[in-house]
Structure 1
């Protein structure tokens, strides 16, 4: 049995806001976020028939100050609640045909991630300011703040069966029930099949929308019930040492019609060069009515700090090009620069979120337990609140800053 403790605290500031309130201009805002996760996890030694594992944890979170610049939190959120509560069983060598631990079944409240970008986690953490239903200001979507740090990742209830281990042919059957009001408490079933070799993997995901809670439904969320999603994906180095490739193409079938989304990225690390620079490029595209479901960053790579978190939708009706440059002066310090170009596909919508963004940030592991992550970002929209965009004051460049301290034990 192992004790788990993780915490983070961040200071944030933005010279512009995206509240959609013409009275708050130019809209400079300052706020803070924090969380602490604490609990136990572990597994049994090998039993006669496999091994049992599980975990239980609590998570406390809050937001202070003005609330975030995207009208998600108000600065008065506080919450402590169960985060993880799950049990699982692995088969060990009980089923030789499926390999070591070729059967893995778990259930309960836990983080579930599917390769690709359809199901990353349940990490959307709105607060009291989030009110997507007109006339509703009762805090029903409040999940405890800490929107950016976003460590409430576990789905409320799950059942996951994995078959075949991690190499060769393998797959999974998944049932997820979110207890997140910001996700309309969506329930889905999913199946995956993958084939993995030393060169990489190719796979497919199918997701079926089972239900949503109407009390929390907004936008096109009611269409999640009965929705079907099909995707083909892959990742690996294709036999090129120090290279990295990934792609996914997906199609949604829902009552209003078919929607499509895709991404492709390619990267290379110059392992023999000083500081081991990494360069990568990513292209992504979403059709006008694409539903982002439980999507996070592509392979934990954000689609822009300001655009993704605060400045409007970048996961529907959008084409995005971005470039990453990363260097490692030491084993404990990584310097990163990212540049994004967002182009809205259809201009029929009420708001135009076309923009450009540059983010400069570093990750410095000060000790084995403490990491510092400062960031500065610059966001230049084509439109502002006065002429069809969302940014307050004007369409001039917004400067955004954050400083986060991460602690793990």
Structure 2
């Protein structure tokens, strides 16, 4: 659950100047049990290795299985304003549980001279019981079974040996695809409404019609893609390209530092301001300085532009982050700081300056769901907000990681009727225990301290709390 160094219906209200954001589901992506030597709070997770079921004459069949269960309690949802239920009642406290099972199969056929053909399928069956989540995206007794992945592909193998092994990788169908650390493109499925499991978020794939072409000629990596999100995240169809220069031994995409640039255009969407939107992205992830071992730097910038009549957009977002790992100190402390800004709408203009969070991902604690309360359930997550974020993590044993996250949220532009720019502050404390190679157990406690601007915006005047526990079994 570690990538490049970056962090980061809603209940009763949302900013009038912002489109309804795509709420990226929580992601528990199994990685290795040991933390990377990165300063940023990568949680200790269980290793995922598919089991080989058959292997003969170049044909390999592998199977995998993941199951998760979690329970969450939120008090004073929306700062005490509560969540409106389908029957019109207002619930100030929400308690619920989620669970899922996700089996998968992968089939590959390695030819002698024509590369490798492959395919994969992954199904997710999950649901929510109890009150439903604190943002109102799911209610109790909601759940269903879906295909998360169903794809076919081809890798060039040694066919283009002058360019390197598997220099070309083409895939079509339901599949996972992430750019960088998921700041704008990471998740194609919302895990909401009838799907349940909003908090655990086991579904990650982009929908049928997705096509991705990857090119790797070290140190250059490139992607051409057509992505389609699920109907609960506006059925976006996105065309684009991504170019990266990967280098170094740590940080960045796929274990390397990277410099990258992307362009994409949203060709179709159920959200008017997205259809026809051009998106430009520049990033530098996991950069290190040889003279300062342990220091890692990252930054990213996104520009959104739409000239379509009646749906004009001119918005932006960016962040800068620094982290330091004390590799020679007991418990390997890691500290970090990130500042991020997501533009808000400017009153009196025909266009919208409110940043659209698009399809952000959650590769580890504290990335683009900024705060277990604000990031999960508040509309002040990644639109019309400026965020100061301090992070601290220690690893007292090889299997236990303790993480603390501190946030300060302020409006980029104060919404109508709000006189204070201070949304509030949040603290999250998390413990992750890799009980075995296949079992990860996590617990979180969080508190959101309401600022004057947050109270005016939500119409509540109380602090919110959250308590979470989950376990994930992966084979």
| TM-score bracket for the superposition, by shorter chain length | 0.7 to 0.9
**What SS is found at the alignment partner of 1:222?**
coil
Gap regions ≥5 residues in structure 2: 1-60, 250-256, 345-353
Question: Does 2:304 match 1:252?
Answer: yes
Q: Which residue of 1 aligns with 2:231?
A: 181
Tell me the C-alpha RMSD between the 2 structures.
2.2
Q: Which residue of 1 aligns with 2:401?
A: 334
The count of residues paired between Structure 1 and Structure 2 equals 382
1:181 deviates by 2.0
1:177 deviates by 1.4
1:306 deviates by 0.4
**What SS is found at the alignment partner of 2:458?**
coil
After superposition, the Cα gap between the structure-2 partners of 1:114 and 1:181, relative to the gap in structure 1 and judged at 3 Å, is same
1:100 deviates by 1.8
Distance 1:84 1:147 in 2: 18
Corresponding residue to 1:11 among 43, 56, 71? 71
Q: Which residue of 2 aligns with 1:137?
A: none
Distance 1:343 1:384 in 2: 8
Return 193-202 or 347-356, whichever deviates more: 347-356
1:367-394 CA distance string (max 9 Å, x none): 1111110100011122489x53327xx4
Q: Which residue of 1 aligns with 2:458?
A: 390
After superposition, the Cα gap between the structure-2 partners of 1:402 and 1:353, relative to the gap in structure 1 and judged at 3 Å, is farther
Q: Which residue of 2 aligns with 1:280?
A: 336
Contact 1:353 1:389 in 2 (8 A): no
1:359 deviates by 0.2
Question: Does 2:386 match 1:319?
Answer: yes
After superposition, the Cα gap between the structure-2 partners of 1:224 and 1:53, relative to the gap in structure 1 and judged at 3 Å, is same
Question: Does 2:280 match 1:230?
Answer: yes
Q: Which residue of 1 aligns with 2:103?
A: 38
Question: Does 2:136 match 1:86?
Answer: no
Distance 1:79 1:152 in 2: 12
Q: Which residue of 1 aligns with 2:259?
A: 202
Corresponding residue to 2:438 among 369, 372, 375? 369
Distance 1:76 1:353 in 2: 37
After superposition, the Cα gap between the structure-2 partners of 1:250 and 1:164, relative to the gap in structure 1 and judged at 3 Å, is same
Distance 2:323 2:337 in 1: 6
After superposition, the Cα gap between the structure-2 partners of 1:145 and 1:15, relative to the gap in structure 1 and judged at 3 Å, is same
Contact 2:227 2:238 in 1 (8 A): yes
After superposition, the Cα gap between the structure-2 partners of 1:31 and 1:383, relative to the gap in structure 1 and judged at 3 Å, is farther
> TM-score w.r.t. structure 2 length?
0.76
1:45 deviates by 3.4
1:169 deviates by 2.0
**What SS is found at the alignment partner of 1:224?**
coil
1:200-234 CA distance string (max 9 Å, x none): 2211010111102xxxx3xxx21211110011101
Q: Which residue of 1 aligns with 2:412?
A: 345
Q: Which residue of 1 aligns with 2:325?
A: 269
1:297 deviates by 3.5
1:353 deviates by 7.7
Question: Does 2:355 match 1:290?
Answer: yes
Report 1 or 2 for greater relative contact order, CA contacts < 8 Å, sequence distance ≥ 6.
2
Contact 1:208 1:229 in 2 (8 A): yes
Distance 1:257 1:248 in 2: 20
**What SS is found at the alignment partner of 1:223?**
coil
> TM-score w.r.t. structure 1 length?
0.88
Distance 2:190 2:122 in 1: 19
1:226-266 CA distance string (max 9 Å, x none): 11001110112333433322111111101323111011211
After superposition, the Cα gap between the structure-2 partners of 1:172 and 1:26, relative to the gap in structure 1 and judged at 3 Å, is closer
Distance 1:353 1:52 in 2: 54
After superposition, the Cα gap between the structure-2 partners of 1:249 and 1:46, relative to the gap in structure 1 and judged at 3 Å, is same
**What SS is found at the alignment partner of 2:373?**
helix
1:95 deviates by 1.5
Distance 2:84 2:198 in 1: 20
After superposition, the Cα gap between the structure-2 partners of 1:159 and 1:26, relative to the gap in structure 1 and judged at 3 Å, is closer
Question: Does 2:122 match 1:57?
Answer: yes
**What SS is found at the alignment partner of 1:237?**
strand
Contact 2:266 2:278 in 1 (8 A): yes
Contact 2:265 2:276 in 1 (8 A): yes
Q: Which residue of 2 aligns with 1:147?
A: 198
Gap regions ≥5 residues in structure 1: 128-141
